Amino acid sequence: MSDEEEFGIGVGGPMVVEVKGRSRTPGSSRSPRRHHNDSDEYSEDDGWSASEDNESDDDSVVPTHRSQRMSQRSPRKNGRSKIDMTPPDKKLKVAEKKVVRFTENGKVDKVITELTKCLALNRILHGAGHWKLARCHANLAEAYLDLKSYAVQAEYHTENAKSIMLNSVTSYTTDQEKADIYDVLFKIYYIQGRALAALKKYNEADQMLAKTEKVIGELNKLSCVDDNQLDDYEIKLTQATARLQWKQKKFALASSQYDKLLKLMEDRYGDDSILLIPVYQECGKISFDL
């Protein structure tokens, strides 16, 4: 099929367009002036443009068959397909910014898509055995668990992350980089423990959360990790432990963990923080089981 047939243009003679009593051929029409669009969120310095992000934030717009076909065509210049020469490190920064933006806007599926891009780009940049690739697996696992409640996918990606960390030589040059590596280990064990608890693999979940506690102990030795960060780690672990013990019907132990959790959160956020509300609700539910 020729280009004319594909776009619905007749073949065999020049097309005549009637406009307000006048006729003209398409060749005589003027090209419309392009309007400058200042609404893009990221500048060209960030490597982002409106044409790069084919997925609009507005899910209400349903693309037609023709628009889908046109969007799949590579832009052409001088009769040749344009090749995207953006370096992968810049693409990674763009994807990371989109993760933040889509998370704030509640675009769950797009968050997963961009995190998957981050995973592929990190593999290109750092290789298959780098701790930053393990961090991407952990971030993707966290998104699956927290945003979509997909425990199986979360366990899968944390297992991949754990395999990378255990089977590769991880080196660091500063205390901050060491803290970043321990942060990845914390997230791996913490997310995997929660995922295993959701899958009712309680003994394995206990083991993962015990490893999480050991990682917090190592983070506590680093001067670059402040008290607020340590409190955040402790709050996450305590809440995960309390919920796990609740699922195991160890109600007395769970109640003790919830008391500890409330104390930690009050010290961290204040007595009147709205973050305490869901914890109080869980405490109320567990009180009926005691």
pLDDT in tens, the chain (290 residues): 444 444 343 444 444 444 444 444 444 444 444 444 444 444 434 444 434 444 445 444 445 555 554 444 555 556 667 788 899 999 999 999 999 999 999 999 999 999 999 999 999 999 999 999 999 999 999 999 999 999 999 999 999 999 999 888 777 889 999 999 999 999 999 999 999 999 999 999 999 999 999 999 999 999 999 999 999 999 999 999 999 999 999 999 999 999 999 999 999 999 999 999 999 999 988 877 76
114 located within any domain: yes
Q: What is the pLDDT of residue 146?
A: 96
Tell me how far the alpha carbon of residue 32 is from its chain's centroid: 39
CA angle 104, 212, 134 (to 5 degrees): 60
Does 159 share its domain with 238? no
CB neighbour list of residue 150: distance below 8 Å, 6 or more residues apart? 144
What tokens does 15 get?
A: 């097309």
Per the domain annotation, does 107 fall within a domain?
Answer: yes
Q: Identify residue 30 by its one-letter amino acid code.
A: R
- Is the domain of 159 the same as that of 93? yes
**Largest distance between two CA atoms of the chain:** 88
Domain assignment of residue 76, yes or no: no
114 and 205 in a single domain? The answer is yes
CATH of the domain at 262: 1.25.40
Give the model's pLDDT for residue 282.
92
- The answer to whether residue 290 sits within a structural domain is yes
Handedness of CA 225, 226, 228, 230 (dihedral sign): positive
One domain for residues 98 and 139: yes
The reply to whether 190 and 261 lie within a common domain is: no
> Is there a domain that residue 164 lies in?
yes
Q: Tell me whether residue 101 is in a domain.
A: yes
Q: Tell whether 258 and 177 lie within a shared domain.
A: no
C-alpha distances (whole Å) from 234 to each of 71, 224, 270 are 48, 17, 16
Q: Examine residue 21 and state whether it is found in any structural domain, yes or no.
A: no
Would you say residue 17 lies in a domain? no
Q: What is the CATH number of the domain that holds 202?
A: 1.25.40.10
Structure tokens at 33: 């002036």
Three-point CA angle 236, 213, 190, nearest 5°: 50
Looking at the fold, whether 180 and 257 belong to one and the same domain comes out as: no
Same domain, yes or no, for 192 and 148? yes
Task: Quote the number of domains for the chain.
Answer: 2
Look up the domain containing 241 and give its range.
226-290
Q: 146, 174, 209: which is the final residue of a domain?
A: 209
- Whether residues 178 and 252 fall in one domain: no
Residues 205 and 130 in one domain: yes
Single residue among 146, 180, 209 that ends a domain in this structure: 209
Question: What pLDDT is attached to residue 39?
Answer: 41
- Mark whether 148 and 234 lie in a shared domain: no
Q: Do 279 and 233 share a structural domain? A: yes
